[in-house]
């Protein structure tokens, strides 16, 4: 695949979140039609885990890799689009959310240039927030259906990782709000029931499910189940 010539494309810096974004179109051959007449009802966030945004862009557009996403946001805020939102990108793989499989046919995938081990940059997050607003408005996607790859594929995936600022998105009503309730029971069966009610219906054993929920709500959590693990999920 060809690379972008230096200086030939402007960054998609966002001065106002109400202004339409103008991604750099860099088409990937890795896509298909959404199955069964489905339209986007989820947004799935990923990190690239690669050395640079351009390395990720090349991979997401390489037919031999058979992987893609709708959007890629560089750490400097550059926004690329690789697959039309109407089409099915190959970003999610096996998994489930609220009992629904074939996440690729139900979602829009956004890749973030990040290794998973360092903070996400302010320019990148600013563009992400604007993009989330605009996609959610176009497809009437509710905040609780903006999820991480790790949410729908517990144990198999860990992105967007422990450094991703979910509470920032929650504060802006761009992701589902965590509960502030005090759980009445600190039992694994209660935890599993609450997690399933929050969308975590993919098959996972107790430890894997606990790790996935912690990755989203309290990535510093360690050890056995505790009240703080149930609190974000409580009704």
> Active-site residue 111, yes or no?
yes
CA gap 87, 218 in Å, rounded? 34
Q: How many domains does the chain have?
A: 2
Q: What is the pTM of this model?
A: 0.91
End-to-end CA distance of the chain: 49
Per-residue pLDDT of the chain (235 residues; tens, 9 = 90+): 322 222 223 333 343 346 889 999 999 999 999 999 999 999 999 999 999 999 999 999 999 999 999 999 999 999 999 999 999 999 999 999 999 999 999 999 999 999 999 999 999 999 999 999 999 999 999 999 999 999 999 999 999 999 999 999 999 999 999 998 877 778 999 999 999 999 999 999 999 999 999 999 999 999 999 999 999 998 7
**Token reading at 108:** 């829009």
Count of residues making up the chain:
235
Note whether residue 30 is domain-resident. yes
Residue 106 near residue 145 (C-beta atoms within 8 A): no
The verdict on 122 and 172 lying in the same domain is yes
The verdict on 91 and 205 lying in the same domain is no
Give the domain CATH number at 63.
Answer: 3.40.80.10
**Token pair 């927030």 is at which residue?**
129
Among the listed residues 111, 122, 129, 235, the single catalytic one is 111
Note whether residue 84 is domain-resident. yes
Query: Minimal CA–CA distance to 70: which of 54, 88, 56, 50?
Result: 88
């Amino acid at each position: 695949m060809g690379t972008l010539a230096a200086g030939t494309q402007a960054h998609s810096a966002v001065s106002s979140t109400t202004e339409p974004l103008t991604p750099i179109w860099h088409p990937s051959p890795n896509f298909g039609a959404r199955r069964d007449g489905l339209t986007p009802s989820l947004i799935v966030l990923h990190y690239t885990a690669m050395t640079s945004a351009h390395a990720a862009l090349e991979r997401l557009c390489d037919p031999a890799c058979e992987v893609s996403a709708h959007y890629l946001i560089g750490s400097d805020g550059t926004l690329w689009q690789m697959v039309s939102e109407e089409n099915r990108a190959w970003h999610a793989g096996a998994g489930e959310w609220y009992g629904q499989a074939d996440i690729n046919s139900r979602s829009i995938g956004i890749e973030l240039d990040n290794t998973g081990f360092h903070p996400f940059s302010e320019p990148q997050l600013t563009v992400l927030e604007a993009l989330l607003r605009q996609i959610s408005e176009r497809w009437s996607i509710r905040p609780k259906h903006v999820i991480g790859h790790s949410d729908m594929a517990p144990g198999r995936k860990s992105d967007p990782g422990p450094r991703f600022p979910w509470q920032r998105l929650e504060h802006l009503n761009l992701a589902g709000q965590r509960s502030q309730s005090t759980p009445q029971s600190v039992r694994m069966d209660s935890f599993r029931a609450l997690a399933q009610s929050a969308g975590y219906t993919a098959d996972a054993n107790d430890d894997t499910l606990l790790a996935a929920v912690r990755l989203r709500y309290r990535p510093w959590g360690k050890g056995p189940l505790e009240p703080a693990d149930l609190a974000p999920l409580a009704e």
